[in-house]
Chains A and B, each alone.
Chain A
Amino acid sequence: MSQRILLQLCRRPVTCASLVVVALVVLVAIFGRELAPCDPYLIDQSAVNQGSSALHWLGTDELGRDLLSRLLAGIRPTVLVSLGATLFAAVFGTALGLAGGYGPAPLAFFVMRGVDILLCFPPILLALLAVGFWPSGIGSLAIVIGIVYVPHFARVSQSAVARVVQQEYVQAELAMGATWPRVVSVVVLPNVLSPLVVQATLTVAEAILLESGLSFLGLGIVPPEPSWGQMIGTAQDYLSQHPMYLFWPSLCLALTVLSVNLIGDGLRDLLDPRLSKS
């Protein structure tokens, strides 16, 4: 069934293009460092803030490092953090949502109140807090951002689970004598997959934005590690001298997030009407 969905996604030109972009990004994330023409960390004081040239296709940054190489090298941490955070949020958020939608009433109550409280804090604030106090690094950043998005997943998952649990096929499964682990794995989870998948794509996009936002502020992924958000932050100071310094990472970041969002939209259009039809 997932192949069918993938095929249908490819058929629409917009989502097809988005899939291509995302595939490219993932490829570069895996092979980025090898593809880079120069060493992303190599400081060259003589070639500061230059425009495009034969040696540096996109120019250099304020420390003379090759922009293109830094762009390519900067993908991997972003991708790793956003995918890791989404995975973390999906697993724990879904589990919480299951407890909230299907678990015994007292458990459900406390779980959902806890989720409500976590939702009181805007993501960037929570992330700031955590990052400010914990050592930075891809792993801890992924976990921090993951924790930030757990309540969003839990909300979506809980409402989907609550809807499914009302259906007669859950009753039918119980009437056969199934225990609750079986009901959850065979009946509940496969039927709540669709909104969760859509939520996952949206979370990936938001995680990328959050991570780059943190890097923009100088937290998150810190220099000398390259990161798109951090490059954009630094580039703002050199806007008049070297406008392209701002342009390239902005374009890459915006395009990536846009593609992920478009895929999420396409998925939602495909998955939802089928749900309501059957």
Chain B
Amino acid sequence: MLEVDNLCIAFETKQGLRPTVKNMSFSVRPGEIVGLVGASGSGKTLMSLGIMGLLPANAKVTAGSVRIGGTDLLSLDAESLRRMRGSRMSMVFQDPLSSLDPVFTCGDQIVDAIRLHEDVSRAEAYRRGVELLRKERIADPVRCMKSYPHELSGGQCQRVMIAMAVACRPQVIIADEPTTALDVTVQKQVLDILRDLNREVGAAILLITHDLGVIYEVADRVVVMYRGVKMEEATTAELFAAPKSDYTRALIAAMPSLGERRDRLPTVASALDTADDEDAGSAAVHTEARPRLYAVPAEPAEPEPRHDAARRTADTRSPLLSVRNLRKTYVVRDGAFSPSRAFRAVDDVSFDIPFRTTLGLVGESGCGKSTLSRLIMRLTACDSGSIVFNGQDLAGLSGPALRQARRDMAMVFQDPYGSLNPRQTVEELIAEPLVVNGRATERAHVVPRMIDCVGLARSALGRYPHEFSGGQRQRIAIARALALHPALVICDEAVSALDVSVQAQVLNLLKDLQHEFDLTYLFISHDLSVVEHVSDTIAVMQGGRIVETGSADAIFAAPTHDYTKTLLGAVPRAVRPIPPPPFTQAFQS
């Protein structure tokens, strides 16, 4: 149904044409779901826009063809192409809330989608919309139709988007990272809905994502893309069983997945992780870009027992952090004159973190884990409860005593693009904790040491954050967190905003630093597989309460609470029957 043949898309820059998609060829049959997987920057979104004819002004198709049901899209004039959009081909975008018009109700937008291409009455279109939403298992479809996008959750908005996309029974549906912005449990629901709806509609679906787990869940076939070039194409089963290209193997291996914990994750060094683009300005089209692999130690046959677990359990100190009965309630108001109600963000939370271990705190958005981290750092005051850190109860401290106690704690935030002051150089950023705490004289030797520890070059010290990529910025944030040699580091979704391959690098770094600096981590995340990989103990949080705690092994092998079971069930599992390639030295192209 959808045939892409040798498609080439390039950007028009001042230095000439910069090819971004190079000779992509694949096809999608009706009723089939093909996953297009690649890291951010690989050109997959651009290609999807190129297929739909929605390229930005400075990009254009330089060669190749795109056919839908035999019709060559690139030869059509703008008006005919426009008529095909929405009726024969449609698209679902990543961020549902910003992809819907905020001043029109969802119902209006769905009705629009239908009446643009089919000659039906408003009432009929409305009825069809309600029916579609009902099929997507929305609890109250009529209310949903009457609501504005900002009144719905992310998952509901995405269902509205999908309804708009399938309303006219298109032949091709392109879904660009449809679940990336959603919670894990919602992700699974949305993917299931997409697959079920398609059984009726029978469209050819191109599912674009960077998450191999999603591919494993729903895709029939997979196309792997790296830097604009097709690396591999196979059925899902084949791909995971016997990946042919090294990049695919590295991608699969880099995915921290449930049931397999190793000491270090093998990583893919992509040029994406450096500030300079090696391809810039090069006129030759690389038909094959071979990524570099870092050295991976030879793997033993069975999964290793927890590294240094024996050494750690021998440490008899009392827990570094001991939280008891922590509570925080917010007073919220739904509207200006509606009655206020109490919202329990953190509800009677207690846990311990032993010295030199990692506690993984897992839960979905809105469960209160971020509030909890803010409470522990004393960025917000708790209502009641105790936070015993290093023998002192932080909850009662204030002023200089609090500042003194705080020096032994540090936090790494989620957003690498928002947690670094854009107006300070890297050197100033890392030295800031020293300056704030009156130890500015130490910056001359502490800062270079920190930048070395996180694996960045000394030349980075004089540059500004916007010159670095996401993974590099997170390293800077880690260096900053460690400047005062804290005992406890709270990682609040520290790797959630990063690509899978970059995630692996940062997680490895965190592990190394834990050994080197005797750190204790509170690792907060919504991603179970990441949490499993780094944690010794795990606490599951829902609705402000801790519903289950235990060692990582115990929780994943035999969860007791229902919510934990739901979470585990929702995670896309990718089982890897072969170990990663046992290279003992790095090879380069």
- Which residue, of A169, A174, A187, has the highest number of chain B Cβ atoms within 10 A? A169
Selected from A171, A182, A186, A277, the residue in CB contact (under 8 A) with B413 is A171
A172 within 8 A of B: yes
Report the nearest A residue to B414, measured CB to CB. A168
Interface stretch (choices B37-45, B416-424, B532-540): B416-424
Do the beta carbons of A174 and B379 come within 8 Å of each other? yes
- Chain A proximity mask over B84-122: 1 for CB below 8 Å, otherwise 0: 000000000000000000000000000000000000000
B553 within 8 A of A: no
Instruction: Give chain A's interface residue range (CB within 8 Å of chain B).
Output: 10 to 19
Residues in chain A near residue B379, CB distance under 8 A: 171, 174-175
Distance in angstroms between the alpha carbons of A168 and B417 in the assembled complex: 9
Do the beta carbons of B410 and A175 come within 8 Å of each other? yes
Q: A278-B465, A278-B466 are in contact. Are A177 and B406 (CB under 8 A)?
A: yes
B340 within 8 A of A: no
Distance in angstroms between the alpha carbons of A278 and B415 in the assembled complex: 12
Residues in chain B near residue A173, CB distance under 8 A: 421, 432, 436
Q: Total number of A-B contacts with CB less than 8 angstroms?
A: 63
- Chain A proximity mask over B390-420: 1 for CB below 8 Å, otherwise 0: 0000000000000100110011011101111
Q: A173-B432, A177-B437 are in contact. Are A190 and B410 (CB under 8 A)?
A: no
Q: A177-B403, A177-B407, A278-B465 are in contact. Are A172 and B419 (CB under 8 A)?
A: yes
Interface residues of B, dominant DSSP: loop
Do the beta carbons of A172 and B411 come within 8 Å of each other? yes
Do the beta carbons of A277 and B436 come within 8 Å of each other? no
Residues in chain B near residue A45, CB distance under 8 A: none
Residues in chain A near residue B424, CB distance under 8 A: 186, 190
Selected from A168, A174, A186, the residue in CB contact (under 8 A) with B415 is A168
Do the beta carbons of B413 and A172 come within 8 Å of each other? yes
Q: How far is the CB of A28 from chain B (nearest CB, A)?
A: 35
B377 within 8 A of A: yes
Selected from A168, A174, A176, A187, the residue in CB contact (under 8 A) with B418 is A168
Residues in chain A near residue B129, CB distance under 8 A: none
B433 within 8 A of A: yes
Do the beta carbons of B418 and A169 come within 8 Å of each other? yes
Q: A182-B436, A278-B465 are in contact. Are A175 and B421 (CB under 8 A)?
A: no
Do the beta carbons of A175 and B466 come within 8 Å of each other? no
Report the nearest B residue to A189, measured CB to CB. B423
Selected from A176, A190, A278, the residue in CB contact (under 8 A) with B436 is A176
Q: How far is the CB of B404 from chain A (nearest CB, A)?
A: 9
Report the nearest B residue to A191, measured CB to CB. B423
Distance in angstroms between the alpha carbons of A178 and B424 in the assembled complex: 15
Do the beta carbons of B423 and A190 come within 8 Å of each other? yes
Report the nearest A residue to B484, measured CB to CB. A176
Residues in chain B near residue A177, CB distance under 8 A: 403, 406-407, 433, 436-437
Q: How far is the CB of A24 from chain B (nearest CB, A)?
A: 33
Distance in angstroms between the alpha carbons of A186 and B431 in the assembled complex: 13
Residues in chain B near residue A168, CB distance under 8 A: 413-415, 418-419
Chain B 245-281 interface residues, beta-carbon cutoff 8 Å to A = none
A46 within 8 A of B: no
Distance in angstroms between the alpha carbons of A106 and B379 in the assembled complex: 20
A167 within 8 A of B: yes
Binding site for B on A (CB under 8 A): 167-169, 171-178, 182, 186-187, 190-191, 277-278
Binding site for A on B (CB under 8 A): 374, 377, 379, 403, 406-407, 410-411, 413-415, 417-424, 432-433, 436-437, 464-466, 477, 480
Show 13 residue pairs from A and B whose CB-CB distance is below 8 angstroms, ordered by the A residue.
A167-B418, A168-B414, A169-B419, A173-B432, A175-B377, A176-B433, A176-B437, A177-B403, A177-B406, A178-B432, A186-B421, A190-B424, A278-B417
Closest 5 CB pairs of A and B: A278-B466, A190-B423, A168-B419, A168-B418, A176-B433
